[in-house]
């Protein structure tokens, strides 16, 4: 029988990813006794096997692509890069290592946070057990995130496959990478490995990049296909067979079945919540496969001591959303001020190259919600900075309803940076006129959005009534 050491604290945070670390740091900054429990690596999925390593790999792949195709347009000879794949992966690991101390145990211990490295499980409504500790707390914040979901495909468990948790441990470049799933992870890694020299086939059961505005998604997919990535949509995989270096996926069944063979298989078909070992029922925390049942303030509907942030909250599964939610829950945790989650203002970026960034409603969603809408576009090819850098692919698409900006979608170089202004515009319910008054420096890509907003009003200049008013006013000098 385990002998437990009792710890009584004000706040107990379970999970040291983006959301959990933010809550723990904020609570400690106000001098609130805080315990942080993490069974794996500090920094969670994003730092260790998600956002950070994937972006480091994408950066290496983009450099290789620019060496092959990007120099000649400036009068510099293109060259075929020499890919040292172990060195590429060492670069990825090095980036993780450089960030890790910021999220590490010593830093949080120095803040005054009690860090426990162990599995956590609820013993009752106000008690969690972790290792040899029993923690009683006034409030709990569950921020345990998610892990790759492995679909029930016949034969899959019998072959070696990769997920984002194991992909960055590769030591040799795949000859032919098969990717199950056409969401952000699958698309990003498909393009990166193609640019590093692998053959790549993406198999998506429905539509690739299905959460994105369809017009913009098609632009991004065309760009990947131009890079040589084979993308199969409506390709439901019925079975998998083979062994390492020779893996075959079967699409469809019977006489219509199609088979594709590759050297490696990456499963990127979704996420599964890390709640199964928490014994949530013991604490009367209602939950299902979508997450913990919470109210608009991220508080458990059945155990008022408990809050949920990040993937387990059932909202958008983004690192920045977890950080946003962490800020929200600090209001009731520390100041008893109500908070309300707004899932509609969460941006999303697929970090293909060029990237696809979005905030707010897609065109389809806006039509379904508002009926009459206005769409404005402005091409990167019309922007002086984009021309100077020969990065003119793509455009900005603005969705306007009721005179307000309800969605913005950008496909093109630096879209992930340009979307920042539009996050503010959508979050604050701005009108196009609010953006036309914005003064960006010249020459920057920031001018692109302003031009799209200005175009919204250009139609007014063509209205006969407006022209008659101007003609009348001119008579007065």
Radius of gyration of the chain measured on its C-alpha atoms = 25
What single DSSP character describes residue 263? S
Alpha carbons 190 and 460: distance in angstroms, whole number? 45
CA-wise closest residue to 237 among 201, 272, 278, 273: 201
How far is residue 383's CA from residue 389's CA, in Å, rounded to a whole number? 10
End-to-end CA distance of the chain: 95
| Bind-site residues | 55, 144-146, 181-188, 204, 270, 311
Tokens of 56: 């480091």
Element (H, E) at 208: none
Question: What Cα–Cα distance (Å) separates residue 1 from each residue in 4, 8, 132?
Answer: 9, 21, 11
Where do the DSSP E strands lie in 32-132? 34-37, 114-116, 120-124, 127-130
Q: By C-alpha distance, which of 354, 391, 41 is closest to 216?
A: 354
Binding residues for NAD(+): 181-188, 204, 270
| Residue 406 CB burial class (10 angstroms; 0-12, 13-18, ≥19) | buried
Contact 440, 416 (CB under 8 A): no
C-beta atoms surrounding 133 within 10 Å: 18
- Read off the DSSP letter of residue 231: E
Separation of alpha carbons 136 and 114, rounded Å: 13
The annotated binding site for FAD is made up of: 55, 144-146, 311
Distance separating alpha carbons of residues 33 and 10, to the nearest angstrom: 5
- With a CB cutoff of 8 Å and minimum separation 6, the contacts of 159 are 240, 241, 242, 243, 244, 247, 265
Cβ proximity of 454 and 436 under 8 Å: yes
């Amino acid at each position: 029988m385990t002998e437990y050491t009792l710890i009584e604290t004000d706040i107990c945070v379970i999970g040291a990813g983006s959301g959990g670390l933010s809550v723990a740091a904020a609570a400690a900054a106000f001098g609130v006794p805080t315990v942080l429990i993490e069974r794996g690596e500090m920094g969670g999925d994003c730092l260790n096997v998600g956002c950070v390593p994937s972006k480091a790999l994408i950066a290496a792949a983009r450099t290789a692509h620019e060496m092959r195709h990007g120099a000649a347009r400036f009068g510099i000879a293109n060259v075929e890069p020499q890919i040292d794949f172990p060195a590429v992966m060492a670069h990825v690991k090095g980036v993780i290592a450089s960030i890790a101390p910021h999220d590490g145990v010593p830093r949080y211990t120095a803040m005054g946070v009690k860090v426990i490295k162990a599995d956590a499980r609820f013993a009752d409504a106000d008690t969690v057990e972790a290792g040899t500790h029993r923690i009683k707390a006034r409030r709990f914040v569950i921020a345990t995130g998610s892990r790759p979901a492995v679909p029930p495909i016949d034969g899959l468990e019998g072959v070696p496959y990769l997920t984002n948790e194991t992909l960055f441990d590769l030591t040799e470049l795949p000859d032919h990478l098969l990717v199950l799933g056409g969401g952000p992870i699958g698309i990003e890694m498909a393009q990166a490995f193609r640019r590093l020299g692998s053959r790549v086939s993406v198999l998506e059961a429905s539509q690739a990049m299905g959460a994105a505005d369809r017009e913009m998604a098609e632009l991004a997919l065309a760009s990947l296909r131009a890079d040589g990535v084979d993308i199969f949509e409506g390709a439901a995989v019925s079975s998998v067979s083979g062994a390492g270096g020779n893996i075959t996926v079967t699409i469809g069944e019977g006489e219509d079945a199609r088979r594709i063979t590759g050297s490696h298989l990456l499963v990127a078909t979704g996420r599964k919540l890390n709640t199964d070992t928490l014994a949530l029922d013991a604490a009367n925390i209602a939950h299902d496969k979508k997450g913990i049942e919470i109210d608009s303030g991220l508080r458990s509907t059945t155990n008022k001591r408990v809050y949920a942030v990040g993937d387990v909250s059932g909202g958008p599964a983004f690192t920045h959303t977890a950080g946003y939610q962490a800020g929200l829950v600090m209001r009731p945790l520390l100041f008893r001020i109500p908070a309300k989650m707004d899932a509609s203002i969460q941006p999303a970026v697929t970090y293909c190259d060029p990237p696809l960034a979005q905030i707010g409603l897609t065109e389809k969603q806006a039509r379904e919600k508002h009926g009459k809408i206005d769409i404005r576009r402005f091409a990167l090819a019309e922007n002086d900075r984009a021309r100077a850098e020969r990065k003119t692919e793509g455009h900005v698409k603005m969705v306007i309803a009721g005179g307000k900006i309800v969605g913005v979608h950008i496909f093109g170089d630096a879209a992930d940076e340009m979307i920042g202004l539009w996050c503010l515009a959508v979050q604050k319910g701005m009108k196009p006129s609010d953006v036309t008054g914005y003064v960006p420096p010249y020459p920057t890509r920031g001018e692109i959005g302003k031009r799209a907003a200005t175009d919204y009003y250009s139609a007014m200049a063509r209205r006969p009534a407006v022209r008659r008013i101007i003609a009348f006013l001119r008579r007065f000098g």
